[in-house]
């Protein structure tokens, strides 16, 4: 077997409308299922599907509402998902725009890192799932240029 690409991510969320709003309105994902109504309600099914503006596949993100009584993400070291990365552009200017957008929305900024091959912001969604927003550093060959270098603080 050979994996060709990462196809999609599925997340359980407590409040589907809140999380759909975050991924749609803050991060700019295109909601494809169900189509949001004029009143912002999602419909009867406890799911919402999204894809990026390029529309490369049927869906790249699926949210499944599980209710407010669902267990929280455990704190500290744990087994499971650490974060997922979303490329937001090709320049630090685009990363600055992303920073301004998440800051304006009140989204917690967890950190900023220069990984040599990428410049990254780390945020959390409404359920505490960590997301890396990043740009590739132009001119860096990630296969040979310092991919194992420890991250450094990033200043935008």
The count of other CB atoms within 10 Å of the CB of residue 152 is 10
Residue 42 has pLDDT above 70, yes or no: no
In the chain, the domains with their CATH numbers are 9-65 (3.10.180.10), 84-153 (3.10.180.10)
> ω before 40 within 30° of 0 (cis)?
no
Nearest to 128 by CA among 1, 4, 14: 14
Residue 38 has pLDDT above 60, yes or no: no
Nearest to 142 by CA among 102, 87, 93, 96: 87
pLDDT value of residue 106: 97
- Would you say the pTM of this structure is higher than 0.85? yes
pLDDT value of residue 139: 84
Of 83 and 39, which is predicted with more confidence? 83
Task: Name the strand (E) or helix (H) holding 47.
Answer: strand 47-51
pLDDT value of residue 152: 85
Angle at 91 between CA 86 and CA 95, to 5 degrees: 55
Report the alpha-carbon distance of residue 137 to residue 117 in Å, rounded: 5
pLDDT, one tens digit per residue, over 87-117 is 999 999 999 999 999 999 999 999 999 998 8
Q: What is the mean pLDDT of the chain?
A: 89
pLDDT value of residue 74: 84
Report the alpha-carbon distance of residue 59 to residue 48 in Å, rounded: 10
pLDDT value of residue 78: 87
Report the alpha-carbon distance of residue 149 to residue 10 in Å, rounded: 30
pLDDT value of residue 5: 86
């Amino acid at each position: 077997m050979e994996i060709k690409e990462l196809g999609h991510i599925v997340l359980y969320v407590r409040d589907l409308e809140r999380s759909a709003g975050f991924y749609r309105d803050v991060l700019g994902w295109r909601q494809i299922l169900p189509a949001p109504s004029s009143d912002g309600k999602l419909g009867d099914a406890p799911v919402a599907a999204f894809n990026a503006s390029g529309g490369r596949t049927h869906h790249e993100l699926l949210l499944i509402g599980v209710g407010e009584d669902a267990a929280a993400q455990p704190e500290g070291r744990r087994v499971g998902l650490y974060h997922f990365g979303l490329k937001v552009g090709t320049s630090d200017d685009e990363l600055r725009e992303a920073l301004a957008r998440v800051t304006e929305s009140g989204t917690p900024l967890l950190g900023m890192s220069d990984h040599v091959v990428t410049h990254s912001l780390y945020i959390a969604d409404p359920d505490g799932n960590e997301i890396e927003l990043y740009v590739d550093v132009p001119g860096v060959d990630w296969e040979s240029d310092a991919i194992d270098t420890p991250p450094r603080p990033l200043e935008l």
